[in-house]
Every structure is written in C-alpha cells, then in structure tokens.
Structure 1
C-alpha cells in the first residue's frame, strides 16, 4: 500500500481508500509487534508461538493472528490495536467504538474467534490429529483503551489488555493440567501447521481496481518525493537539487510489490526512465540479481532479500 501511494497521482480517486486501509493495517501491525514483547517472556520450550497463521479446511481459508500451541491446549489470540472506548452490546451482538465524540461499529471480534475455534477444531479433525482444548482471547494492545460491556455480556474472560496476557496464560495452565500431547507430538503438530500454512498472496492492483498503466514510472526523490529523477553520474532531483547514489533501489522495491517478481533489461530501463542504455545495463548488473536466459532474453528475479545495497554478484540460476 505504501508503494502504491507513492506510484499513483496525487488526486487519484482511490487514494483516500488506500490511505485509510493503510492506517488500519499499520495500527494492526503495531499492535502485533507490541504483543510480541509480552509473548517473549513465555517458556518457548513448553509453548510454541506461531504468528499470522492461515490454514485451509474444506476449501475455506481462515487466518489467526497468533496461535500458541502447548501439550495441554491451543490458544488463539486475536489482536486489536484500537484507541478510545469500546463497548460490547449483547442484544444485537455489536462491537462499538467511541472516540472524539464519534461512535462507529466494527465487526464483532467475539464472532470471529468463535469461528476460528470451530474451524481449527475441524482442521485438526480433517488432518487426523488428536483432539485438544482450544481457548481464545481478544487482546487489546493499546493500554489506554477503555473496555465496557452491558449487563448481559457473558464473555468478559475472553477480553483482555496485552499487559494481562501472561497472567491469563498462567491461569490457563492451571485449568488445563492434563498433558494431551507428548513433546514429540507437539513438535509434529507445529511442523504440520507451518507446512500447511498458506501465506496471503496479494495482487494489490487488482484489490483496488488500478491498471498497470496508472502506475507512475521513474526513480523518486527520497527527500521530497519528486518524480522522476534524472541520472547524471548520480540521481539528481530537479525539485530539491539533492543528489543520490542508490535512489533506484527503492524504485525496484516498488516494482516488485506492485507489478511482478521478475524484470528484464528493457523493463528495468523503462520503469526507471533511464535514457542511456549503458547506464541502465550498469545499474542492473550492479544489483547482482539471480537470472536465467541468454543476454538478449535474460530474466532477473526479484525478492526483498535480493534487492539490497553493496550486494555481491550472484551466479545465474
């Protein structure tokens, strides 16, 4: 989303939607990072912590923010980084947030974790794995979030702040005292979950209905965001007059995120808007990317790790 916002025009009709979605994703990511701090104090020999798990059962894919697997039980953690006052309303099963005098409704996370529990039970059954108790918490990572509920609310034990997580896990350990899996079975289950995990593959342009032709080409100024820069020994910005040696690295990252994981010489030259053939060839070669094919038909392979500064030359695939 960050790459997309850099590569569409200022007044593009989808910009506000993308910006709003990015803010939600960023808040969610920050919440998961802060929760990792609390999870770091757990005994990793007894509890295996899996992050962002996506499993398929009966052609349906379900996602879990954190899954804690032990020999006694499995714990699902649904992470929420939401500011303001939140209210669980039982009559209509609603989840309402109030902030700065504005009230808005969200998808009820209790419905979400119940669904996750049922799907995970079915997944264990389909994969012929031992039946094991499944617990779940909805974890609010913002310590200033105020949590309220009506008198009919019966799931308060599932709602916690992140700073209470380790205490609640200790309590679960006391409830689930029976060891249902051996350490060997626990390791086997963990390996299977990792093997069956299906990372989300996102076509960001298709998600927002944006055509490839709408993506702005060229190298962007790291300082003032002007685009495109000109290559004159170094990358030169006509707006702020700054010079940069490796500003093209960010452009290739954008190409990878938005378009495709492979690039040819002609695609490289066109996307970076480089006029000189020799300059384009030299810069592409300096990236040291793995490739296949002869000189004319050569295809270079991009990934987050392969695009970096001062990289050693790699051998052809």
Structure 2
C-alpha cells in the first residue's frame, strides 16, 4: 500500500519556479538549470521504478517515497522505504545511462570519461547503508522495536550497466533492476523473519514516519547569490512564457501572443511561496502580480486556501502545510 506517494520534492518545485524568474544572463543561472536538471533526472528515475513497488502485497507492505527524517540532528532522506510487520527495506534509486565500474582490489567505484580517464565516484551501497543505519537509530529513539533492515540500490535506467573487476558478490547482491524489486522483496520475505509489529503497532509506526517527515528548506538567495531584485515579477503566460500578463475583466491577457487565461495568476502566487519561502501581504502581491491596487491583490488572495495571520494592512497570507 502506498502511504507516502511519489511526488516532486520541495527543492525540485522551488527550482522549477526559480528558473522561470531569473535572467539567463545571471551568473548563477546555469547552475540553477544544472541543479534542476539533476532533480528532474532523479525524479524520472524514481517514477520509472515506482510502478514495481505497486506490485508489492498491499496488505503487508507499507510504501513511503522520499521520506526525510531527523535523528541526532542528522537529516537523511530515503528514496523508498518499505515497512512490513517483519522487516524493513530501504531502496536508493539511480537513474543513469553511464556505466558504473567497481574494482574489487581497490574497493572503489569509478566512471570512465569520454577521454578515457577514470574518475572515482561515491559508493551508492554505502550511501543507502548509512540511510538504513540512521533509520535504525531513528526507530530506536522513537521507541519502536527493532526490525531487520536490508537495503538495495535500484538501477532504474535499463541502459545502465554495472561492470565489476574481480569478484565482489557483496556488491552484485545489492544492485537490482527496477523489474527485480518485487522478486527481491519476496526473497527477503522468504527468510521467514518473525512478525514483530502487529496491526496496531504498524499503524503507530506509520503515523510516526508521516509526522516526522521534514522537507528540505534551502535559502535560494544564499545558495545562488541572488537578491530580491534578481527575481522577475509579473504573471507568466503559460502559452508563450512572456510576462507580465495584464489583468482584464475576463482573465489575464498576454500582450505578446494575446492568449487569455483565468488561472495563470495562481501559478505566480505559487512561484512567490516557492521562491521566497515566506508569507505574502496584499501589497507585496500587488507588486509581484503587477496589479493596479492592493485591494485587487487582497480579493485574489482571498480566493486561495491560505492561512491568514494578522489584520488590516499587516495581514499576511501563508501556504497551508
């Protein structure tokens, strides 16, 4: 059963908003585009693998995508966690078309560049191993009886190849393809671990995991050396990408392609929340949407399911969690 469904991460959504509102001539623009590209590749890989998790038994397997937890002031995020009454599995999903090499003598992973150079890369097995360890510690702190925890690296791209020099069964046994996810879970289940969590306890652990999830909140302005003046204002046309659209009685008009849309302003407000990561006032909304008056902005904000704090001119609107 899918408990925490796959969705774009909060940093992913913030970068999607940011890239549309920073000038391509800004020194950090290419870095923003590159970071967003990495997020897209990762998400696409997880999307490809997600189908095979739906094939797991819904009565015994609780599936969580992208949980980010904190234990001992250390944050860790798991691509996929599978909770059962007898054991837990942690999966790290990799979406790469490049060949990954492992040298059993040096115990090092590396990739080969187009010029033939060997370039070392991090160990994905140790990465997911560390996640499993921190999860074990998290369960201990939360007072949950310890379950056996196993972990695997999923190659979601069928074009990816793992090449090993020498013998390394401890490596090959931890790499699986997306299609092999159900069979891997069945093999672990065949070890006949005793049932540790009854239905009531499973429900409690489920709730603890959901309530403990924390999105990553980066300061985009510090990360990419931005100022508020670097953020382009105005409602962006969904058809041609131009801005600002102009508010008319029957919707928002794009001066460039003349298309009219009634909801583009809502996407602009979303952009504000994603980029600024703070509340918005009617005055600020007026400036950001390029409206004629603060009262126009107030009427528009009232249409959205936002949390309202303060009164009169100090009224601030926040996105509901």
Fold match, TM over 0.5?
Answer: yes
- The alpha-carbon distance between structure 1 residues 282 and 60, as it changes in their structure 2 partners (threshold 3 A), is closer
Query: Within 2, Cα distance between the matches of 1:162 and 1:142?
Result: 8
Query: Within 2, Cα distance between the matches of 1:176 and 1:136?
Result: 17
Q: What is the 5 A alignment of 1:89-104?
A: 89-97=103-111
Shift of 1:228: 2.0
Provide the TM-score with structure 1 as the length reference.
0.85
Query: Within 2, Cα distance between the matches of 1:290 and 1:48?
Result: 32
- Residue 213 of structure 1 pairs with residue 240 of structure 2: no
- The alpha-carbon distance between structure 1 residues 239 and 92, as it changes in their structure 2 partners (threshold 3 A), is farther
- Residue 83 of structure 1 pairs with residue 100 of structure 2: no
- Residue 250 of structure 1 pairs with residue 267 of structure 2: yes
- Which digits, 9 at most, give the CA deviation of each residue in 1:273-294, with x for residues without a partner? 2235564454444446453443
Higher RCO (CA 8 Å, separation ≥ 6 residues): 2
The answer to whether the Cα contact below 8 Å between 2:152 and 2:174 also exists between their aligned partners in 1 is yes
1:291 to 305, 308, 311: 308
Q: What is the 5 A alignment of 1:185-264?
A: 185-233=201-249, 234-264=251-281
Shift of 1:92: 4.2
1:46 is matched with which residue? 60
- The alpha-carbon distance between structure 1 residues 185 and 260, as it changes in their structure 2 partners (threshold 3 A), is closer
Range with bigger deviation, 161-170 or 284-293:
284-293
Provide the TM-score with structure 2 as the length reference.
0.84
2:27 to 2, 9, 13: 13
The answer to whether the Cα contact below 8 Å between 1:264 and 1:298 also exists between their aligned partners in 2 is yes
* Residue segments in structure 2 that go unaligned for 5+ positions in a row: 1-14
The answer to whether the Cα contact below 8 Å between 1:81 and 1:140 also exists between their aligned partners in 2 is yes
Aligned-CA RMSD value: 2.5
Query: Within 2, Cα distance between the matches of 1:252 and 1:8?
Result: 16
Shift of 1:185: 3.0
- Residue 36 of structure 1 pairs with residue 53 of structure 2: no
Please identify runs of 4+ aligned residues in structure 1 that moved more than 6 A.
Answer: 99-103
* Residue segments in structure 1 that go unaligned for 5+ positions in a row: 305-317
The answer to whether the Cα contact below 8 Å between 1:263 and 1:302 also exists between their aligned partners in 2 is no
Q: What is the 5 A alignment of 1:19-168?
A: 19-97=33-111, 105-153=120-168, 154-168=170-184
Query: Within 2, Cα distance between the matches of 1:130 and 1:287?
Result: 43
